[in-house]
Structure 1
Amino acid sequence: MSELIKRMQERRANVWEQAKALLDTAEENKRDLSAEEEATYQALNADLDQIDARVKDMVDAEQRAKDADAAFGKLLAKPETGPTGGEKKDSELRRWARGEMRSIDIAVPAGTSFRDLTKGTATAGGNTVPTTFYGQLMAHLIEVSGVMMAGPTVLNTSSGETIEVPVTTAHSSAALTAEAAAISESDPAFAKRTLGAYKYGVLLQASSELLSDTGVDLEGYLAMQAGRALGNAFGVHAITGDGSSKPTGIVTSASTGVTGGASVAGAFTADNLIDLYYSVIAPYRNSTSCGWMMRDATLGAVRKLKDSQNQYLWQPSIQIGAPDTLLGKPVHTDPNVAAVGLAAKSVIFGDFSAYFVRMAGGVRFERSDDYAFNTDLTTFRAIIRADGLTVDQTGALKVFTGNAA
């Protein structure tokens, strides 16, 4: 460390001692800082901030100078030779042959650019550090799956052991009882729902040439591809999974709230959607997680519907980031919900917090240079372990079913 930086450190320590002295004096006298002392204290704090900023700049400058000197030293250095002028002792090639190194760079003619990968900056290698993949993977998973956007209850666990969730299926009820008559027994009924951890995975491969020479955001591309693949795989089962070696979807365990009229090829009317809205009882309907879910094409039909007062049922959001509403409730879209058709369950409405999504161990994003070693490909693997189930199946979620006639 240079003498100038040492002097800056000494100055900083002196300023801090002055600031502490002001505080200590006020504390000993059991009073607040006077106006003059407060002004001095603020000036000392500003001085500390300026010293810190300057020292940081100086340290960075010295480190850059050292890095540059080291880089030029490597480029200009001559190979070490033995007494007879042969190869340098214990060369990298021999170390690699003995298994002490996984790979080596063979020397190339002068004039070629050299680049070292580091995680300090994004463009110099930070884009390959796997710790940044987790957030991007999860973000893409939520964007793809309409269920994840609708506000389900998400259970994050570190391992994948079975989780049993106790639920009530019936409540006690009281009755008018005459004088001296026996009071009827009415016990609540209980059940349990089981959540496992089914594995979803995807492999992506990239050539070493692509990884070395690409000029695009390869990290973002791989994260997007893996996230969409995992989201699409889990999203299908979160809507229509039958629970057999896979999650149980929302539609699978939801009850029918409204069935469409005859001779309309499964289509719904404005009255059908209003009836579906009120088929879900108020406690669920008033939940902040209550909303609608359908595919985009179905939403296109919904936007055309009007009530008896000639007002559109659908209202666009006027706030960025807020969803559109249908009868005052947010609308979510998911391509896995059935299209409008005979016997099709094309619209879901209710409290989506009653649907539990279990994520075991988070998202794993791993890299292997050995899997496709003979083809010089790097393999990336993304895995999630998840399950889904409507825990409250007493009517929290209901569907519109097209008439089968």
Structure 2
Amino acid sequence: MSSFIKTLQERRANVWEQAKALLDTAEKEKRDLTAEEEATYQALNADLDKIDARAKELVEAEQRAKDAEAAFAGLLAKPQEPGARGKGEQDSELRRWARGEQRAFDVAKPEGVAFRDLVKGTATAGGNTVPTTFYGKLMAHLIEVSGIMMAGPTVLSTASGETIEIPVTTAHSSAALTSEAAAISESDPAFAKRTLGAYKYAVLLQASTELLTDTGVDLEGYLAMQAGRALGNAFGVHAITGDGSSKPSGVITTASAGVTGGTGAAGAFTADNLIDLYYSVIAPYRNSTSCGWLMRDATLGAARKLKDSQGQYLWQPSIQVGAPDTLLGKPVNTDPNMAAVALNAKSVAFGDFSQYFVRMAGGVRFERSDDYAFNSDLVTFRGIIRADGLLVDQTGAVKVFTGAAS
């Protein structure tokens, strides 16, 4: 496995060097890429994306193997305590519920130290020591399709969905040079009060009776993947662009203005624009571990071509499998709900995404019906989450690049 990963890493580096060579040649000759070169460049970018996806699969496979090894080691090391319910029993309970042999299955958020953080993390940082629950698998799939959830927001998990009042910072206190014995000027921070509710996101899934009775099928993984991706896509739209009216307030909707592009550029950004956006966010936010970039895939493709005044590419490919690529040293997360590069479009966001609060009310509600699609011999499942989102620090924790008006 290690030799294959090394080969994959070398291939990735080679593809990037080929892409750089195309850009460097065009720049040296002071021209744009020809149609043939542009097609080659896009193909190389697609190859990079495929290699990244393959690397991610290898990391996940290695994680599953370690989880299984740890689980078997735990089972062999000590007998199960009387009355305790192990993961195998939970799996069989889920399968019995899916077949209709019991009425309900509780998928509430796990308690205690086994609860996995809902933001990004690495297996080597402790993830290998925690068993993956059905709830954890579903949330992992929800996160993988939502760029804002990958960016590292602060997640508030509550048992119920009552309204939570959150103070939102709109201005910080400021100090001033004061003469001896002179009165000290008062400067209070400015707050506004916002509420975090619990908006309902739901999905219907259908599975054949044959699928549910086939013991070789990973039923837990199937349901978690299908429900997690559907719910993540639905919530992800509002987490980016929601207007707060009967829906979450999106991070882009409430982010501060950072940089506006130049005229005549059709909304596009330059290397200097991104550097200015980077430094428009003050150091305390910029140095946060949750600080990064957010844009759509096509926008990242344009950012990969940019160089600074020293001729160095702003985008730097990772040399470690599983580690994120960086733009000016900060990780890049992509989300299809981010605006495309265009006039007046907020196409790039940068800042401390831990200042965006995501409220998750309760666990995941799963219900089944044998009657909904009775004539097709399909079992229907209903998955529901309740969530809200709000940028709590609106003083410039997250800033955006906006394309020029003309």
- TM-score relative to the length of structure 2: 0.66
Tell whether the 8 Å contact from 2:151 to 2:292 is kept in structure 1 after alignment: yes
Match of 1:162 in 2: 163
1:392 counterpart letter in structure 2: D
Tell whether the 8 Å contact from 2:148 to 2:239 is kept in structure 1 after alignment: yes
Match of 2:314 in 1: 313
Deviations 1:288-341 (A, max 9, x none): 110001111111111111111111111111223321111111111111111111
Deviations 1:354-393 (A, max 9, x none): 1000000022222233444565432111111000110100
| C-alpha distance 218-167 of structure 1, shift in aligned 2 (>3 A) | closer
Distance 1:233 1:144 in 2: 10
Match of 1:204 in 2: 205
Match of 1:135 in 2: 136
Match of 1:105 in 2: none
2:360 counterpart letter in structure 1: M
| 2:136 counterpart of 1:172 | no
Tell whether the 8 Å contact from 1:239 to 1:252 is kept in structure 2 after alignment: yes
Tell whether the 8 Å contact from 2:290 to 2:352 is kept in structure 1 after alignment: yes
Match of 1:235 in 2: 236
Match of 2:382 in 1: 381
Tell whether the 8 Å contact from 1:138 to 1:363 is kept in structure 2 after alignment: no
Could you list the runs of 5+ residues in structure 2 that have no partner in the other structure? Answer: 1-74, 80-87, 100-104, 108-132
| C-alpha distance 127-332 of structure 1, shift in aligned 2 (>3 A) | farther
Match of 2:260 in 1: 259
Name whichever of 185-194 and 198-207 sits farther off.
Answer: 185-194
2:238 counterpart letter in structure 1: H
Shift of residue 125 of structure 1? 4.9
2:231 counterpart letter in structure 1: L
Distance 1:345 1:121 in 2: 45
Match of 1:270 in 2: 271
Distance 1:176 1:400 in 2: 34
Report the count of equivalent residues: 293
Deviations 1:143-200 (A, max 9, x none): 1111111110000000001111224433333334445544433333232221110000
Local SS of the residue matching 1:174: coil
Distance 1:298 1:175 in 2: 42
Match of 2:43 in 1: none
Distance 1:342 1:238 in 2: 22
Match of 2:248 in 1: 247
Distance 2:289 2:383 in 1: 33
| C-alpha distance 208-283 of structure 1, shift in aligned 2 (>3 A) | same
2:338 counterpart letter in structure 1: V
Q: Which protein shows a greater Rg? A: 1
| C-alpha distance 330-213 of structure 1, shift in aligned 2 (>3 A) | closer
2:147 counterpart letter in structure 1: G
| 2:369 counterpart of 1:402 | no
| C-alpha distance 222-289 of structure 1, shift in aligned 2 (>3 A) | same
Tell whether the 8 Å contact from 2:91 to 2:220 is kept in structure 1 after alignment: no
Tell whether the 8 Å contact from 1:346 to 1:401 is kept in structure 2 after alignment: yes
Shift of residue 137 of structure 1? 1.1
What root-mean-square deviation, in Å, do the aligned CA atoms of Structure 1 and Structure 2 show? 2.9
Shift of residue 139 of structure 1? 1.1
Local SS of the residue matching 1:388: strand
Match of 1:67 in 2: none
Distance 1:266 1:152 in 2: 28
Distance 1:125 1:186 in 2: 60
| 2:356 counterpart of 1:355 | yes
Local SS of the residue matching 1:386: strand
| C-alpha distance 177-210 of structure 1, shift in aligned 2 (>3 A) | closer
Match of 1:336 in 2: 337
Match of 1:47 in 2: none
Distance 2:184 2:190 in 1: 19
| C-alpha distance 120-350 of structure 1, shift in aligned 2 (>3 A) | closer
| C-alpha distance 179-209 of structure 1, shift in aligned 2 (>3 A) | closer
Distance 2:169 2:90 in 1: 53
**Identity within the alignment, %:** 82
Match of 1:153 in 2: 154
Local SS of the residue matching 2:191: strand
The correspondence of residues 42-191 of structure 1 with structure 2, limited to 5 A, is 125=95, 128=98, 133-178=134-179, 181-191=182-192
